[in-house]
Amino acid sequence: MRQSFLKIFSVFLLTCSVLAQSMLSDKTLMGFSAENSTRQRVLEQKFDALLKKENLCQWMKRLSARPHHVGSPYGKENAEFIASLFKSWGYETNIEQFDVLFPTPKTRVLEMISPEKFTAKLEEPNLQEDSTSNQKSEQLPTYNAYSIDGDVTGDLVFVNYGIPADYEELAKRGVDVKGKIVIAKYGGSWRGIKPKVAAENGAIGCLIYSDPKDDGYFQGDVYPKGAWKNEFGTQRGSVADMPVFPGDPLTPHVGSIKGAKRLALKDAPTLTKIPVLPISYSDALPLLRNLGGAVAPENWRGALPITYHLGGTSAVKVHLKLEFNWDIKPAYDVIAKLTGSERLNQWIIRGNHHDAWVNGADDPISGLVALMEEARAVGELAKQGFKPKRTIVYAAWDAEEPGLLGSTEWAETHAAMLKDKAAVYINTDSNGRGFLGIGGSHTLEKFINEVARDVIDPQTKLSVLERRRARQMVDGSPTVKKETKERKDLRISALGSGSDYTPFLQHLGIASLNIGFGGEDGGGSYHSIYDSFDHFTRFGDPNFDYGIALAKVCGRTTLRLANADVLPFEFTNFAETIGQYVKDVLKLTETMREETDALNQMIKDGSLLAVQDPKETFVVPKPKTNVPYLNFAPLQNALETLQQSAKNYQTATKDKQISPEAQKQLDKILMNTERALTRDAGLPRRDWFKHQIYAPGFYTGYGVKTLPGVREAIEQRNWKEAGEQIEIVSKTIENFALEIDRAAKLF
C-alpha cells in the first residue's frame, strides 16, 4: 500500500563527513561484545554471499503472474507457494486464516447528465507492451474499498485535495458542497480522508482522480512509453477510516477468527458515509472541463489542458451509482518461525504483505521477494549450523491493501503473546531503485544507522547511508542541509501509517522499523493493472539490485537484533527527537496565535475584504477564537527528565559488560520500553491507537502526527483537550524515563 517513498521518508540526516563514517565499520557493533561483533560480521559476509537476484526475479514473475488480491484464487495459491518455500528453507511455517469483510464492486456507474452526456469508462485497457494487463476476468475493477453503496445525483464541485483547508478556501469563495458531489485530486492526504471530510461538509458523493500534474504526463512519459500513469490508469485503494482503526471493519480490537464478535455492516464505523469512486484523468477531463463558477486558486490547478473552475453552480450535474458485494473473504497470513537458541521468547518479527490490488509486482512483491531471499539465506545459514540467539519470525501478510487486515487481525489475535515476546517489528513494502528511506522508533535510530553504514549502494559504491546523506546535502532544504551536516546520525522519520507496522507499533507498542529504497523508480503504476512485472522490470528495479540491497539492510537488521548480546536500543537520539517534537508543538501554537491574530485583525479592520476583487464572490470568514497560552511546562519538565535519563543510561552502559543473566533482564526492560509509550485508553476518539508519540493523522491518514494527542487538539483548536493531552503525554514520557532508569540500574 506504501505510496511514494519520498513522501513517507522525508526527513533525514547524517554526519558531517561522508568518509569518516565508513572507517567506523570495524568498530564494535551496538549490542555486541567485541568478540561477538567479529563473529557477527563473518556471519553477515556469509549471508551476503548467499543472496541471488535471480531468485527475486523468478519469484516476482511467479507471484505477480495473475491478480492476487485478498480472497482471489491466486492470492491463496501465492500464500501456499510462499509457505512451501519457507518450509523448504527450514522454517516452522503455518498459514493463519482470518475471515474479513472485503467488498468488491457489483455496479459502478458514473455519468454526466448535463451540460453534456458523458459516461465514464472506468476501465484500464489492455496494453500490448504489458503481458498481464489483459487478465480482465481476474482483475478487480477500479474502485475504492469500503465505500458504501449509493445512488446519488448532484452538482459537481472541485475540492482540490479535499482536505479541511480546502473547504475553508471554498467557503471564502461562497462555495458549499452540501447535497453535492465532490471531485478531489489524489494526493495531499491519504485517500480515505477525502470522502470523510467531504461527508463532514455535507457532500453526498465523492470522486477521486489522478491529476496528470501529480501522477501523469506532467511528471514524465506515461506508460507504456514511460513509467507514469497514462490517461486510463486508475488508483484503486481503501477508503476505510483507518485513522480510527485499521483491520477488518467488523472486528475492531479483536482478531477476525472463527467465532469472533462481528459488528453488523450498518454499525461498522470505518466505512465511508458517502459513495466514493476513483477515476482516471481521461474520465475526469470532461467533467472538469465543463465546471463553471470561480476559477480555482492557483495551487489547486493541475495539468489538464483546461481552466480549473470550482463548479458548484449547477453547470455540471453527475450521477454516481455504486453497489458492492459485501462478502466475507478468507485472508491468509504466512507465518514462518526460526526458534532462537537462547532467548527464544524474544521475537524479532520481519514482515511484508503479499496481497496486491491487481498483479502488484511493485506493491508489494518487490519488497516481498527481498524478504523471501533474506529468509532463504537465513534458513541456509541455519542449515549450516547458525542458531540465532532470539527467535526470528518471517511474515507474509494478506489483505494489507484494503486496510492492513492481515497484520492487524494477527496482531489483535496474538496481542497478549506479542506484548510479552515481540522485541522489534521490521517492515518492508514496495521497493525500487534509488535512495534508502527509514522510518521507525527513534530508540532504534542509532542502531539502524550502523546497519545502513555497512551496506553498499549498488549504483555508486558508497554506503546506502552515505548516498542518502549526500542526497540531503545536495537537494535538501537549508534546514535539512544544516542538520545533515551537524547531526551525527541520519534522522529517521516518524511512522504514520500506510503499511503493516501500524498494528505493531501503534496498537501494541512494539518498536518498529520500516525500510525501503526508492526515488529513482518512477511512479504511476500504483494500484493499477499496470503495476506489473513488465512495468517493474523496465522502470522499478530492472536488475533487482535494490532488492538485494534491501535484503542486505533488512537481513543485517534482523540478524543483529536476533544475535545481539543486548538489544541495541539507545535513548539519547530518542530524547533529542522528542525535544524536536516538543519544539514543534510550541512553535505550532505560536504560529497559530500569530496567524489567528493577523487574520482577525484583517477581518476587523476590513482590509481582508478591501483587497478582494469585487467582481468575485468573497465571504469574509468568521474570526477565529484566540489561541490561549497553554501550560507546556509539564511537557518541558518531562522532556528534561527524559534527556537526563537517556544521558545517565548512556554513561552507565559505556564500555561496561554485564552478566548473561543481567543481559536477559536488561533485554526484557528494553523491549518493553516502547510499550511504555502507549496508553491503554488510546488517543481521544480513537482508542485503538495507543501510542502517545506516533500516530497517523486524523485528517492526514498516512501522514504522521508526532505527540498526536497534543498536536491534534491544538490543530483542532480544542484548547481544553490540548491541556489534558499535555498532562497525559508528559506522564507517558516520565514513565518511559523511569524504564530507562531501571535499565541503567542493571549496570
Binding interface with a second copy (CB under 8 A): 18, 212, 217-222, 226, 228, 295, 301, 303-307, 433-435, 459-460, 462, 466-467, 470-471, 473-475, 481, 520, 598, 602, 605, 607-608, 610-611, 613-615
- Comparing CB distances to a second copy, the nearer of 198 and 222 is 222
- Comparing CB distances to a second copy, the nearer of 264 and 610 is 610
Distance of CA 422 to the CA centre of its chain: 21
Q: How many Cβ atoms sit within 10 Å of the Cβ of residue 222?
A: 21
User: From the CB of 426, what's the least distance to a second copy, in Å?
Assistant: 26
Place of cell 523468478: 58
Closest CA to 242 of 353, 102, 146: 146
- Comparing CB distances to a second copy, the nearer of 520 and 734 is 520
- Comparing CB distances to a second copy, the nearer of 257 and 303 is 303
- Comparing CB distances to a second copy, the nearer of 19 and 49 is 19
DSSP-derived 3-state class of residue 418: helix
Identify the bridge partners of residue 694 per DSSP, sorted by sequence position. Answer: 706
Give, rounded to a whole angstrom, the gap between the first and last alpha carbons of the chain: 43
How many Å apart are CA 331 and CA 329, to the nearest integer? 6
- Comparing CB distances to a second copy, the nearer of 77 and 520 is 520
Compute the half-sphere exposure of residue 570: CA atoms within 13 Å on the CB side of its CA.
20
User: From the CB of 608, what's the least distance to a second copy, in Å?
Assistant: 6
- Comparing CB distances to a second copy, the nearer of 166 and 541 is 541
DSSP-derived 3-state class of residue 686: strand
DSSP-derived 3-state class of residue 598: helix
Alpha-carbon separation of residue 314 from 155, 177, 208, 342 (angstroms):
5, 12, 20, 71
User: From the CB of 622, what's the least distance to a second copy, in Å?
Assistant: 17
Place of cell 511512522: 495
DSSP-derived 3-state class of residue 375: helix
DSSP 364: I
User: From the CB of 668, what's the least distance to a second copy, in Å?
Assistant: 42
How many Å apart are CA 647 and CA 612, to the nearest integer? 55
How many Å apart are CA 197 and CA 699, to the nearest integer? 8
User: From the CB of 467, what's the least distance to a second copy, in Å?
Assistant: 6
User: From the CB of 626, what's the least distance to a second copy, in Å?
Assistant: 19
- Comparing CB distances to a second copy, the nearer of 229 and 353 is 229
DSSP H or E segment with residue 480: helix 478-486
Secondary structure percentages of the chain, helix, strand, coil, to 5 = 40, 15, 40
How many Å apart are CA 82 and CA 403, to the nearest integer? 21
How many Å apart are CA 122 and CA 133, to the nearest integer? 15
Alpha-carbon separation of residue 718 from 125, 218, 591, 714, 721 (angstroms):
49, 40, 16, 6, 6
User: From the CB of 338, what's the least distance to a second copy, in Å?
Assistant: 37
User: From the CB of 24, what's the least distance to a second copy, in Å?
Assistant: 18
User: From the CB of 601, what's the least distance to a second copy, in Å?
Assistant: 9
User: From the CB of 479, what's the least distance to a second copy, in Å?
Assistant: 14
User: From the CB of 599, what's the least distance to a second copy, in Å?
Assistant: 9
Using alpha carbons only, give the angle 134, 140, 143 rounded to the nearest 5 degrees: 125
- Comparing CB distances to a second copy, the nearer of 229 and 442 is 229
Place of cell 530508540: 443
DSSP-derived 3-state class of residue 448: helix
Alpha-carbon separation of residue 651 from 577, 644, 647, 743 (angstroms):
19, 11, 6, 12
DSSP H or E segment with residue 337: strand 328-338
- Comparing CB distances to a second copy, the nearer of 615 and 654 is 615
User: From the CB of 597, what's the least distance to a second copy, in Å?
Assistant: 12
- Comparing CB distances to a second copy, the nearer of 92 and 221 is 221
- Comparing CB distances to a second copy, the nearer of 156 and 304 is 304
User: From the CB of 455, what's the least distance to a second copy, in Å?
Assistant: 15
User: From the CB of 211, what's the least distance to a second copy, in Å?
Assistant: 12
DSSP H or E segment with residue 279: strand 276-279
- Comparing CB distances to a second copy, the nearer of 307 and 625 is 307
Distance of CA 149 to the CA centre of its chain: 27
- Comparing CB distances to a second copy, the nearer of 328 and 470 is 470
Using alpha carbons only, give the angle 91, 96, 98 rounded to the nearest 5 degrees: 160
- Comparing CB distances to a second copy, the nearer of 182 and 291 is 291
Which runs of consecutive H residues, i.e. helices, occur in 137-279? 164-172, 193-200, 212-215
User: From the CB of 494, what's the least distance to a second copy, in Å?
Assistant: 24
Longest Cα–Cα distance in the chain: 80
- Comparing CB distances to a second copy, the nearer of 351 and 519 is 519
Q: Please check whether residue 523 is in contact with residue 228, taking contact to mean a CB–CB distance below 8 angstroms.
A: yes
DSSP H or E segment with residue 426: strand 422-427
User: From the CB of 500, what's the least distance to a second copy, in Å?
Assistant: 29
User: From the CB of 616, what's the least distance to a second copy, in Å?
Assistant: 9
DSSP H or E segment with residue 343: strand 343-353
- Comparing CB distances to a second copy, the nearer of 129 and 595 is 595
User: From the CB of 612, what's the least distance to a second copy, in Å?
Assistant: 9
How many Å apart are CA 714 and CA 630, to the nearest integer? 10
Q: Please check whether residue 498 is in contact with residue 2, taking contact to mean a CB–CB distance below 8 angstroms.
A: yes
Q: Please check whether residue 81 is in contact with residue 92, taking contact to mean a CB–CB distance below 8 angstroms.
A: no
> 52 is written with which cell numbers?
541471488
How many Å apart are CA 33 and CA 242, to the nearest integer? 43
> 72 is written with which cell numbers?
482471489
- Comparing CB distances to a second copy, the nearer of 598 and 633 is 598
